[in-house]
Chain A
Amino acid sequence: MSSLKLGWNIMKERMTAGRMMVIWPLLTIFILFSSWGLSDPKVNLPASIVVNSAYDVMYVASAFILFSATMGAVLISFDGISRDRLSGVLEVKLSQPINRSMYARALLIGHWGAIFLPVMVLNLFSVLIIWYRIDDLITIDEFFIHTLATALVLLWYTSIQLLASSWAKDLGSSIAIGLGLWMIFTLLWLVFTTVVAGFSGVGVDDLNSAEFVKIDAFMDLLSPNGLYHHILEMHLDNVDRGMSPLNVSLAAIVWSVLPAYLLTRRIERIHP
């Protein structure tokens, strides 16, 4: 029995769950509609955001992917372990002759796949929409970078949420931890960044100053959302926040390995 096969089974279960009736429309509205709207030649974007190519549109639309897909990852995974633990099913599963770390990997693959697959389907549609609207098709390597970044950010959120689900003794606590972290990374990270900037003696009155951008770029390495944008920006010529690809890659590796390792360790030690 491989983690992949078991993960595939978990993914099928998750994808047929009732909550997908909420997640699919949410993803569709955010991903497809944002691609449609942002690829309008007359679109007026705030600040100095310039949209010249299909990849630029995909980059700007990535904010909407972050908002909806990461929320989807939280909604799919919040009861990934705690529900089985509460119902007693986890006892049945862990008493089977399967290596616990393999089971942890299967959980991660299954829950991650259940959100990644719909997002990828919609991403493909959004590529076609952008092509239709501005007559520009993203290149293979641009599509690869975008897919990789999306896959990674969903993996990070899934592992964090599954970890929360394994800690929480009830579903409410699990979703509270997951949503709380989602809010911190999605809505409140700028506040943390300004606080850190303030303590570092950098003025926060001008968010476009070189010093603030530097601190902002560093703080983004500590957030899944920020790191997601760092990865996407690696392929943009007109965006440079002074962060080397090596640092971004190292941060991505740490974010991919650390929560997954903690989850595996947790499953190995969990008392059902």
Chain B
Amino acid sequence: MVRDFSTWKPWAKRAGAGIHSIHMEINKGTILGLIGPNGAGKTTLMRAICGLYDCEGFDKSSERRRREIGYMPEQVRWEGNVSVKHALESIAMMREDEVDLDGIIQTVGLSSKSEQILDNLSQGMRQRLSLACALIGDPKILVMDEPLNGLDPLAQRAFCNLLRSLANKGVAVVISSHQVADLEALVDRIALLHHGQMLIEGTLDNIRKELDLDEKSGIVEMICSATGISPDDVSLQLSNDDMLPFKTLGAEEE
């Protein structure tokens, strides 16, 4: 049970107002998708859950809570001239638990790259390494911020399958992703955030009913309906023809 987040401080020199008054249940064995427009507070909420921010009801010095949570931040750029295995060992050292690193490396598909230097990893491999870090210590809750970024379609599917099997084993997963098609197929429940507040939470079907949407409506329609944002409000338009370099390119190709 996560409740009463209050990270908003008027004197803090940080962009945005943070998140406030969020009541949310994270159930064992379920995958909860956090959705919302850019700047809604998804990442802030995830960091708060993981104890990276102090907030009401939570203390970031709480090691017990962090022991139960595996966190995969968005787009970690692993670098340095140490091997993948060494990087994982460094993270594992920060936990007192017995860790089967070889098993984790195999689970995330990095067996062939375990001795490779971090500087030589592709973005997809770096994502896998971040996932491996999140899996260290057999966490009861997995919190993942845009985990599908940088993964090829096959890896994305494998990733989703892995998350489902972890959920089947009783792990609670909290995931945010802008890749809505994958998310719709993956999640059991959805929490919709906007301006640091949670607007609605439930299964996809329940949310559709609550928002009075038809059965074919997806996450984008849910966001638009719940937040009142029209797709036209966020459309990207070029101000003049001079800003169309591809037009020239197209002419050259012809």
Contacts and interface: CB of A to CB of B under 8 A. Distances in A.
Contacts of A86: 77
Interface stretch (B50-58, B184-192, B232-240): B50-58
Interface string B54-89: 000000110110110101011111111110001001
Given A13-B82, A17-B81, A18-B81, A95 B76 contact: no
Chain A, interface SS category: helix
A271 interface: yes
6 contacts: A87-B77, A87-B78, A93-B94, A98-B95, A100-B60, A100-B61
A97 B60 CA distance: 10
Interface stretch (A1-9, A115-123, A199-207): A1-9
Which 8 residue pairs across A and B have the least CB separation, nearest first?
Answer: A96-B94, A88-B76, A97-B67, A95-B71, A87-B77, A91-B73, A97-B63, A97-B66
A99 interface: yes
Contacts of A98: 63, 94-95
Interface in B147-203: none
B78 A95 contact: no
Residue among B14, B93, B95 with most chain A CB within 10 A? B93
Given A86-B77, A95-B51, 19 more contacts: A6-B93, A13-B80, A13-B82, A13-B90, A18-B81, A87-B79, A88-B74, A89-B77, A91-B52, A91-B71, A91-B73, A92-B71, A92-B76, A93-B91, A96-B91, A97-B64, A97-B96, A97-B137, A271-B52
Given A5-B93, A9-B93, A95 B74 contact: no
Contacts of B130: 92
Interface string B26-58: 000000000000000000000100111100000
Contacts of B91: 92-93, 96
Contacts of B61: 99-100, 268
A207 to B, nearest CB: 45
B133 interface: yes
Contact of B76 (A9, A91, A94): A91
A16 B80 CA distance: 10
Contacts of A95: 50-52, 66, 69, 71, 73
B90 to A, nearest CB: 6
A257 to B, nearest CB: 21
A87 B52 CA distance: 16
A169 B53 CA distance: 18
Contact of A96 (B64, B76, B78, B95): B95
A37 interface: no
Contacts of B74: 88
Nearest to A13: B82
Contacts of A5: 93
B133 A92 contact: yes
Interface string A68-98: 0000000000000001001111011111111
B73 A1 contact: no
A94 B93 contact: no
A9 B80 CA distance: 14
Nearest to A87: B77
Contacts of A9: 89-90, 93
A99 B63 CA distance: 7
Given A96-B95, A97-B95, A88 B77 contact: yes
B94 A1 contact: yes
Nearest to A83: B79
A271 B73 CA distance: 13
A94 B90 contact: no
B20 to A, nearest CB: 17
Nearest to A270: B52
B193 to A, nearest CB: 19
Interface in A125-159: none
Contact of B75 (A1, A88, A103, A272): A88
Given A91-B52, A92-B73, A271-B52, A97 B94 contact: yes
Interface string A1-35: 10001100100010011100000000000000000
A86 B75 CA distance: 11
Contacts of A100: 60-61
Nearest to B53: A271
A266 to B, nearest CB: 14
Contacts of B75: 88
Interface string A261-272: 000000010011
B78 A89 contact: yes
A58 B61 CA distance: 46
A13 B79 CA distance: 12
B52 A272 contact: yes
B51 to A, nearest CB: 7
Contacts of A17: 80-81
Nearest to B92: A96
A86 B207 CA distance: 37
